[in-house]
Amino acid sequence: MMTNIDPSTLKKQKDYGTPGVNFCMARRPESATLFVGNSDFKVHQFDASAEKPELKPIAEDGHNSYVTGAALVGPTLVTGAYDKQLIWWSTVNNSVVRKVSAHELWIRNVIASPDGSYVVSVADDMQAHLWSVSDGKKIRTLSGHDEQTPHGYPSMLYAVTISADGKFIATGDKVGRVIVWEADTGKQVGEVETPVMYTWDPKARRHSIGGIRSLAFSADGKQIAVGGIGKIGNIDHLGGPHRIEVFDWQTKERKHEIENDNFKGLVEQLQFSPDGTWLAAAGGDHGGFVSFYNMEDGKEIKTEKAPMHVHEMSFSEDYRTLYTVGHGKIVVWELQGELEPLVAPRT
């Protein structure tokens, strides 16, 4: 697909206040129905097309901590949380289908494969696990990230993405290391480094902050965008510029190095346009942002201030609506333009 969507037309359409922190979201295709993981330990349904939308728990019994990852495949929702569990839900009758003790430490993210056959979970045990959607069985484990930072403290595995053709999985950790894996075999086939996204304070706090928080493959799978934060002066705050690095991951060539000091904080989400002409980013610190960057020159096209730290975003199928969830809010944005099919040149 190619897009005539104009990112410079981004405009906030609706703003909904919610209790707690909305850490993650999965959207039902061709709809405005969101399944949202919250800091109240619950998974909620939210219909942004309703006259008076509100968070409604899909069940009372579920996770025992913050819900931080959600993936939807047909009627099946798979969520992960700081309680180290994955839960399979039926969205038909809003019930728990199965619970799996999936990781030894906090789960940070859960995503679905393009064909919907499996989900991938990543956690602070530095493992990425592939799970069958149909029966909940573990397919394989991707293990290669160091458990400790160079300074001897526990590392964290925040980010994961899958290429559109399903061939490759990428994972990113706290110290700025990205590993690209072959999905079918679990073989490591690539690696890039983004060390600027990791800040260590050797004096005042003996503590580190930052890390890779988001990853995205371009539609053709040749490039990978890495999101996080630039160097931070005071590590008690997210007072660094939001930062993005874009690579040809097979050659390790860095295509773009983007820092935006006007909108500080973590880049929590990244997504390329279908034709690869622009890259969307969202995140924040105490406040938030939604940004678009031109992938020809890496320059900023548009940044809008969000009324909250954004944790996750989802574009509608025509890319004219953008849904974002975060601290105490859900926001719906609109863009102008049309999504068009690619037409092969005449020969």
Residue 166 C-alpha from the chain's centroid = 17
* More confident: 97 or 347: 97
10 Å CB burial of residue 108 (0-12, 13-18, 19+) is buried
Fill in the amino acid letter for 12. K
CA distance 284 to 229: 10
By three-state DSSP, how is residue 197 classified?
Answer: helix
Query: What confidence score (pLDDT) does residue 208 get?
Result: 67
Q: Is residue 268 part of a domain?
A: yes
Q: Is residue 345 part of a domain?
A: no
Q: Is residue 233 part of a domain?
A: yes
Q: Is residue 346 part of a domain?
A: no
Q: Which residues of 227-256 are buried (b: 16+ CB within 10 A; e: fewer)?
A: bbbbebeebeebbbbbbbbbbebeeeeebb
What digits encode the pLDDT tens for the residues 16-62? 999 999 999 999 999 999 999 999 999 999 999 999 999 999 988 89
Domain housing 291: 2-340
In the chain, the number of structural domains is 1
Query: What confidence score (pLDDT) does residue 344 get?
Result: 45
Query: What's the pTM?
Result: 0.95
CA distance 5 to 275: 11
Q: Is residue 72 part of a domain?
A: yes
pLDDT band at 246 (very low <50, low <70, confident <90, very high): very high
Query: What confidence score (pLDDT) does residue 203 get?
Result: 63
Q: Is residue 44 part of a domain?
A: yes
Mean per-residue pLDDT, 168-179: 97
* More confident: 236 or 12: 12
**CA-angle at 218, arms to 103 and 231, nearest 5°:** 65
CATH of the domain at 170: 2.130.10.10
Q: Is residue 347 part of a domain?
A: no
pLDDT band at 204 (very low <50, low <70, confident <90, very high): low
Q: Is residue 277 part of a domain?
A: yes
